[in-house]
A and B are shown apart, each in its own frame.
Chain A
Amino acid sequence: MRKPRYTLALLIFTAFAAAQAQPTLTTLYNFTGGSDGFHP
């Protein structure tokens, strides 16, 4: 039996959505232990 075409499309969409859902972490500042202090 032939598989419906939308199955593959749904899988691709799901994978894309999962990839998009991962938040992006950016380190804005690394404390150095100098005059900037440390352990915020």
Chain B
Amino acid sequence: MLYGTTYSYGSFTTEGTVFSLTPPASPGAAWTQVTVQEFGGNNGAYLEGGLVIGSGGVLYGTCHNGGATGDTGTAFSLTPPASPGDAWSGTVIYNFGTGYGYEPRAGMVIGRGGVLYGTTSVNPTVFALVPPASPGGAWTDHNVHIFTNSGDAPYGGVAIGKDGVLYGTTKNGGSNSGEGTVFSVTPSATPGGAWTETVLYNFYSYAGDGVEPEASVVIDYSGVLYGTTFEGGTYNYGTVFSLTPPSSPGGAWTEAILYNFSGGSDGGRPAASVVIGRHGVLYGTAGAGGTGNGGVVFSLEPRTSPGGSWTETVLHAFTGADGSGPVSPVVIGSGGVLYGTTEYGGSSNGCGNDGGCGTVFSLAP
């Protein structure tokens, strides 16, 4: 079963949906789409991030706008029905704007105790939503970190590392002409104490460096972070980078560009995070370029010797009819099958957009 979000209208009165897609009983038959929840108004609007699945199959997500406090966004839960086919139960667990930050542009991650962590793009913060002590109670918002410069907008959410340390990126801000950063926020050793933010890397540290990351990072078993930048690199069509932790505490993290997109047949402008597959192979999407000019799904295989280069392979180049503009990450399913979405393209333009209404795809090895 796949779950996802749409940014735009479920009908003329709503603004975004959560959907499920159920695989067919027999191979080759059609998948079944069900709109789990429509949004618009007080329950939120315009979903820009993905979903996370919690205990009991409850889905959690964010809306960029809507809500009860002036169109500043919501966090919501969707509880599955007791009987298949019945309606899901949607609840707004937090109205952004009642606290400091608002307008989240990414989904959330679940930490210990069911705490949800995410980012807001306006009055930028890293936030924690703590579940109620008893069912039906209110969720509590804590600002894990408030970015002091309003330009330090984190667009991509956070990843949870060892000991509960959160890692993320800001699209702008930092010490090099505001081209973005990679940061960590570390929980206090004392319960309830303040978290500590550290800028691990400032983009545009040298000519040809990546700039303006729009997605969060992923973490491998050794603590190395991997991510993408939307722009910059040798050809200014974005990069995939790694950030290796220092060998001794307090030392500098080491950035390396693993791949420079050219914007040609190899793709360009990656807006989503990568995922780590078997043998350390990275998989991702780039919304521009490709032989069909509709963006690509790519893999990036690790170097085989120290100092060697990573190898990019275009797994699929979108043409429009089969989708266009993949701007979300892929997920890896059984048998190494990749699943993802394209924002545009596909067989329908009933949304009034000649570029198509978007697709869900699988990519089998």
Q: How many inter-chain contacts with C-beta < 8 Å in the A-B complex?
A: 116
Name the one of B4, B322, B344, B353 contacting A27, with C-beta atoms under 8 angstroms: B322
**CB closest residue in chain A, given B317:** A25
Judge whether A40 and B316 touch: CB under 8 Å. Answer: no
Judge whether B35 and A35 touch: CB under 8 Å. Answer: yes
Task: Decide yes or no: A28 and B362 within 8 Å by CB, A39-B343, A39-B344, A40-B328 being known contacts.
Answer: yes
* Complex: A35 Cα to B322 Cα, angstroms: 21
* Complex: A39 Cα to B16 Cα, angstroms: 9
Judge whether B358 and A38 touch: CB under 8 Å. Answer: yes
Judge whether A33 and B351 touch: CB under 8 Å. Answer: yes
* Complex: A36 Cα to B342 Cα, angstroms: 15
Interface of B is mostly: strand
Judge whether B6 and A26 touch: CB under 8 Å. Answer: no
- Say yes or no: is B5 at the interface (Cβ < 8 Å to chain A): yes
Judge whether A25 and B362 touch: CB under 8 Å. Answer: yes
* Complex: A1 Cα to B57 Cα, angstroms: 69
Judge whether B352 and A33 touch: CB under 8 Å. Answer: yes
Judge whether B316 and A23 touch: CB under 8 Å. Answer: yes
Judge whether A36 and B346 touch: CB under 8 Å. Answer: no
Task: Decide yes or no: A33 and B9 within 8 Å by CB, A25-B363, A27-B359 being known contacts.
Answer: yes
**CB closest residue in chain B, given A24:** B364
The digit string for B1-36, where 1 denotes a CB below 8 A from any CB of A, is 010111111110000110101000000000101010
Judge whether A23 and B359 touch: CB under 8 Å. Answer: no
- Say yes or no: is A4 at the interface (Cβ < 8 Å to chain B): no
Name the one of A23, A28, A32, A39 contacting B7, with C-beta atoms under 8 angstroms: A39
Q: Which residues of chain B are within 8 angstroms of A27 by Cβ–Cβ distance?
A: 322-323, 346-347, 359-361
* Complex: A15 Cα to B322 Cα, angstroms: 26
**CB closest residue in chain A, given B342:** A40
* Complex: A33 Cα to B349 Cα, angstroms: 7
Judge whether B38 and A35 touch: CB under 8 Å. Answer: yes
Judge whether A38 and B316 touch: CB under 8 Å. Answer: no
* Complex: A31 Cα to B310 Cα, angstroms: 35
* Complex: A29 Cα to B340 Cα, angstroms: 11
Q: Which residues of chain A are within 8 angstroms of B352 by Cβ–Cβ distance?
A: 33
The digit string for A4-40, where 1 denotes a CB below 8 A from any CB of B, is 0000000000000000000111111111111111111
* Complex: A39 Cα to B364 Cα, angstroms: 23
- Say yes or no: is B291 at the interface (Cβ < 8 Å to chain A): no
Task: Decide yes or no: A32 and B348 within 8 Å by CB, A25-B316, A39-B358 being known contacts.
Answer: yes
The digit string for B320-353, where 1 denotes a CB below 8 A from any CB of A, is 0011000010000000001101111011111111
Judge whether A37 and B316 touch: CB under 8 Å. Answer: no
Name the one of A24, A26, A29, A38 contacting B9, with C-beta atoms under 8 angstroms: A38
Min Cβ gap A40→B in Å is 4
- Say yes or no: is B249 at the interface (Cβ < 8 Å to chain A): no
Task: Decide yes or no: A25 and B361 within 8 Å by CB, A31-B346, A32-B350 being known contacts.
Answer: yes
Q: A28-B31, A37-B9, A39-B343 are in contact. List 15 more A-B contacts (CB 8 A).
A: A24-B363, A25-B362, A26-B362, A26-B363, A27-B360, A28-B2, A28-B361, A30-B359, A32-B357, A36-B17, A36-B19, A37-B16, A38-B7, A39-B8, A40-B342
Question: Could you show 23 A-B contacts with beta carbons less than 8 Å apart?
Answer: A23-B364, A23-B365, A24-B364, A25-B322, A27-B322, A27-B359, A27-B360, A29-B21, A29-B31, A29-B360, A30-B348, A31-B346, A33-B348, A33-B350, A33-B353, A34-B350, A35-B10, A36-B17, A37-B38, A39-B343, A39-B351, A39-B358, A40-B5
Top 8 closest A-B pairs, CB basis?
A33-B351, A37-B6, A37-B17, A38-B357, A33-B350, A38-B351, A40-B341, A30-B346
